[in-house]
Structure 1
Amino acid sequence: MNGRMIADRYELSALIGQGGMGQVWTAYDGRLDRRVAVKLLRPDHMAAATAAEEMRRRFVRECRVTAQVCHPGLVTVHDAGSDGDDLYLVMQYVEGADLADHLAEHDPYPWEWAVSVAAQLCSVLGAVHAVPIVHRDLKPRNVMVKPDGTVTVLDLGVASVIDSDTTRLTHTGSPVGSPGYMAPEQALGGAVGPYTDLYALGVLLHELLSGDVPFSGSTALGVLHRHLHEAPVPVRRLRPDVPEPLEALVLRLLAKDPQHRPSGAQEVYAALAPLLPARGATRGPLDPTRPFLRPHAPWPDGTAAPSGTAPAPAGPPPGVDVAAAVDEVKRLLGEGGITRAVDILGGILPAAAAQHGEHSQVVRILRKQYAATLMDDGQYRRALPELRRLAQERAAEAGWTDTQALQFRHDAAQCLEHLGDPSAALAEYRAVLPSYEAADRDRALQVRQRIGHLLLAVGDHTAAGHQFRSLLYDAERAYGPYHPFPVELRRALERQQQLRG
């Protein structure tokens, strides 16, 4: 494959990485005369053939979402698309060594270095979770240490392409991710969120401090079982020089119940900051603390990072042609230009309200399109208030059991789930379930499935088990035992029973 041209532009040079989800090559960008890294994925190797085309579509969409995140600790995405049977992702080429090799070369790893690496990762996760995106596969092989001591996170968004609804198993029956770094809710097939990445950060920190992951074994199932049932060994038993507050933080990050972990990357950073080495303190030929005083600290709660949730665009000047703008939005959506369509819709809403009235049918239709497009673009934080407003207005006219009002609430629950608030999402799904059970059997079964995954996410495994067993019984009655939906439920239940048993 050496010398192969991708998209008539990128010439592959040397294979630098290979795993279950694809290959990574160094390549030459002939158009801009620069070295880049190209990741190749084979959809037909990761999903059933019937799902390969859907995966291609999701891949491009996910790359667009991740490209919105601008942070010095994230690899820059240059291009994405498909070439023959492969999906390709073109990224910035990062000089340095991955964190796994860096750990092997500096064993034992100075605990000050471990704190500095983890603090930088908190900064990255804070920006990523604000979008919101969940990495799902944070591990040393996906972290590069550059010569100046800064770290760069790789593979953002790739796992979510393979696992688009946050819970689905691959066709091999295995959850997406690396078993050694997988949170209990992820292992069981529950909904994932920022709390899942924090668990992986805890595993990574434990490994840097002790030299090994907290849970290992000869089989993936055995490793996942230990994640679910065994307590990690406190790192000070393995390495007494580690400060007690650092040991306590690692144990909090490794809590089985997501609700017992820190509230977010900001809280983890605040706990790490007092442990960062003083200015000018260096150890060895490479000092990961040099870029650090508080330069890349994550954005505080309630403050939107520039790369995460951009403010809604200002309204257009008076006299804007709303009809022409709507036609432009339709054209852009037809061509896949979702992000630009979002900007135009957000911009024309004030003008449309001024021309037709805030509660007119025209403005209502535009708001619906705006909310739907925000969701398609992965901007769940901005979509949520729009959906809640639409639901309130529709319910005021037709009641909360109205089909459209229910749909708005259902979409709001999806936003909450993506935003990493499983308790609020669970409450919203439960609120709409009785109406769906009375009028829409298929949607009711889907909502019950989401409730089951969210119960796993909040740590209520017993209730989740009851939910899935009841759902399987009703799904088999509705569709027959060999329909894909009950087959998927049966596999998930069998896996959960194996892991819990």
Structure 2
Amino acid sequence: MLDDPPASPVDGFDDRYQLEELPLGRGGMGEVHEGYDRRLGRMVAVKFVRVPDGDPDPDLIRRFKRESRITARLRHPGVPAVYDSGVHEGQPYLVMERVEGISIADLIAESGRLPLGWAAAIGAQTCAVLAAAHAASLVHRDLKPDNLVLEPAGTVKVLDFGLATGEGVPELSRITQSGQALGTPAYMAPEQIQDGQSSARTDLYALGCTLFEMLTGQRPFAGATSYALMIKQVSDPPTPVRQIRPEIPTELANTVAQLLEKSPTDRPTDANIAYSSLLRFATELPPMPGVLAPPEQPSPLRMYAAAVNRIPGPVGTTPASPPVTQPPHHPSEQPPPPTPSPATPPAPSAPPAPTVATPSHPAPERSGTEHSEITDVRNRASALVRESRYSQAGALLGNAVAQARRSGTPLDPELVNLWWDWANVLFEGGDYHSAAPAFESLASVLSEHGSANMDLVFRCRRQHATCLALAGETQRALDLLRRLLADEQRILGAGDERPLELRRQIGMLLLRLGAPETRQVLRELLDDLVRLRGADHPSVRRVRALLERAPTG
């Protein structure tokens, strides 16, 4: 049966959606309206994203479309489906599944502390959603009770993935520069507050804050201002939950405490581990009249879940797709990358395709037909990217690279630019696991052919390491960056901008790992920067700030 449209709708837009006048909710980044999809006859939720300064920004809109498409690839029963996205009067919007139920924030406000079993069950379901998101290299960044909805069947929906970001990507992207705090101070992890970086373990910290609130009826930290609250998040230990509620089992209390560790490396390594710790306590779930459907009422959703639970296989793991080590042979959607590790360096924006130097070994002249075909492929891919259709553009470029290699096409500047475009499109589309071998293979082939453009080789190697870190292979990424640093210093000189910046990235990665050599690495870099650029240079201040947070042991 089709949903009925809103009783008092305001004027719609796009000749398709009509909206309720009053929003369902407002936040720092925009507001959500209940809407009606005239075309399909169903209720939806429409989230409008606030534009900084109220002025349309083509670059912001492009980034919004990109992040919307990445987020739409996240398919999980605990995530509202993304139906549509667009721009209305310069304001980006997302059209999503309308979720029915009560937010955990409202449930806590009405009931106070939740039954132990329900707190664990809600937390475990949330972990299942985070496991899927992190496997797709997506970090929520604003997990909190307001963004968790308990449906009548007892299932949990995690809301507001619309502005999730790629693992390790700097928070201050153009799309979020609205003057608002990125996240909610009461649930923000120390590293999110201090350096604006989010990772999978940042979401786990927010989950710890949420569990604390569900179990005790109060937040881990309180402050008169957002600044005071953030200072406590960074510096103060939380009160043990058993001190507030003694009947909480010790193991459950230990799980909450581990989630709330200040250092990301001291938290669970991933959401799967947190899930397993919480699931054992998701028992004795009492009825909640007015919140859940009556126990005697059949639930098709629980019937389905019970049948799925009987399928053999490990519970609480997210299968990972193998890396794409060769260009794809057929245009298709790329598989999601495996579960990322939270300790990752910031990912630089993919630079534009460079002007490529001709390899030192002369290549046969390309025919006019071949030139036209490559130009056509690159133009078609550019058009897809402008529409934020990164998967299709990546498949198109990858097929062209594979075909060129199979046919023995010479490695001239046109093919190199095509290859570079392919790797960057995968990177920009958030498919770091496939982008890594694309950058790696281009660097290898250029080196084998004696390319004179060492700058391009270095850029490929740097992007390769960044992709590995974003896809979770942290130690391997660190090893590659160190080898790259040695080569850059040998060829470019230790005082060149590029190896100095690479040293800072290595220091940041070591800092996030909590490695004991972090302080020495950053101190040596700081001394060199002061000597080369002076004590007041911005790069010196950035490294000094990192050094202040380095472990002293």
User: TM-score, structure 2 length as denominator?
Assistant: 0.74
1:36-80 deviation per Cα after TM superposition (whole angstroms, max 9, x unaligned): 11111222249xx7x943222111100010111111111111122
Matched residue, 1:11: 18
In the aligned structure 2, how far is the partner of 1:172 from the partner of 1:341?
Answer: 30
Matched residue, 1:249: 255
Matched residue, 2:446: 394
Does structure 2 retain, via aligned residues, the 8 Å contact 1:128–1:134? yes
Q: Mapping of 1:293-332 within 5 angstroms?
A: 300=317, 303-304=320-321, 315=330, 327-328=376-377, 330-332=379-381
Matched residue, 1:283: 287
Matched residue, 2:40: 32
Of the structure 1 ranges 418-427 and 242-251, higher mean CA displacement relative to structure 2 is found in 418-427
SS at match of 1:378: coil
Matched residue, 2:459: 407
C-alpha displacement at 1:489, in angstroms? 4.7
In the superposition, relative to structure 1, how do residues 203 and 474 fare at CA in structure 2: closer, same or farther (>3 Å)?
farther
Q: Which runs of 5 or more residues in structure 1 are unaligned?
A: none
- The correspondence for 1:271, drawn from 277, 290, 294, is 277
Matched residue, 1:114: 119
SS at match of 1:158: coil
Matched residue, 2:350: none
In the aligned structure 2, how far is the partner of 1:66 from the partner of 1:213?
Answer: 29
In the aligned structure 2, how far is the partner of 1:391 from the partner of 1:122?
Answer: 38
Q: Mapping of 1:142-221 within 5 angstroms?
A: 142-160=147-165, 165-166=170-171, 176-189=182-195, 191-221=197-227
Q: Mapping of 1:81-160 within 5 angstroms?
A: 81-160=86-165
Greater Rg by CA: 2
1:334 equivalent to 2:383? Answer yes
Does structure 1 retain, via aligned residues, the 8 Å contact 2:116–2:215? yes
1:373-431 deviation per Cα after TM superposition (whole angstroms, max 9, x unaligned): 21121101121233233333434454999222211121123223433555554554444
In the superposition, relative to structure 1, how do residues 474 and 265 fare at CA in structure 2: closer, same or farther (>3 Å)?
farther
Letter aligned with residue 458 of structure 1: L
Letter aligned with residue 106 of structure 1: S
SS at match of 1:231: coil
1:458 equivalent to 2:462? Answer no
1:368 equivalent to 2:420? Answer yes
In the aligned structure 2, how far is the partner of 1:28 from the partner of 1:412?
Answer: 45
SS at match of 1:156: coil
In the aligned structure 1, how far is the partner of 2:136 from the partner of 2:18?
Answer: 32
In the aligned structure 2, how far is the partner of 1:45 from the partner of 1:488?
Answer: 29
1:7-29 deviation per Cα after TM superposition (whole angstroms, max 9, x unaligned): 34322213111121111111222
1:44 equivalent to 2:52? Answer yes
SS at match of 2:24: strand
Matched residue, 2:345: none
SS at match of 2:223: coil
Letter aligned with residue 93 of structure 2: Y
SS at match of 2:10: coil
Matched residue, 2:84: 79
Does structure 1 retain, via aligned residues, the 8 Å contact 2:377–2:400? no
Does structure 1 retain, via aligned residues, the 8 Å contact 2:49–2:92? yes
In the superposition, relative to structure 1, how do residues 330 and 85 fare at CA in structure 2: closer, same or farther (>3 Å)?
closer
SS at match of 2:23: strand
- The correspondence for 1:63, drawn from 47, 64, 68, is 68
C-alpha displacement at 1:197, in angstroms? 0.9
Does structure 2 retain, via aligned residues, the 8 Å contact 1:215–1:227? yes
SS at match of 2:32: strand
In the aligned structure 1, how far is the partner of 2:482 from the partner of 2:488?
Answer: 10
Matched residue, 2:348: none
C-alpha displacement at 1:283, in angstroms? 2.9
Does structure 1 retain, via aligned residues, the 8 Å contact 2:432–2:467? yes
In the superposition, relative to structure 1, how do residues 67 and 287 fare at CA in structure 2: closer, same or farther (>3 Å)?
same
C-alpha displacement at 1:181, in angstroms? 0.9
User: TM-score, structure 1 length as denominator?
Assistant: 0.81
C-alpha displacement at 1:249, in angstroms? 1.0
C-alpha displacement at 1:147, in angstroms? 1.4
Q: As a proportion of its length, which structure holds more helix? A: 1
SS at match of 1:432: helix
Q: Which runs of 5 or more residues in structure 2 are unaligned?
A: 1-7, 332-368
C-alpha displacement at 1:112, in angstroms? 0.5
In the aligned structure 1, how far is the partner of 2:75 from the partner of 2:52?
Answer: 31
SS at match of 1:94: coil
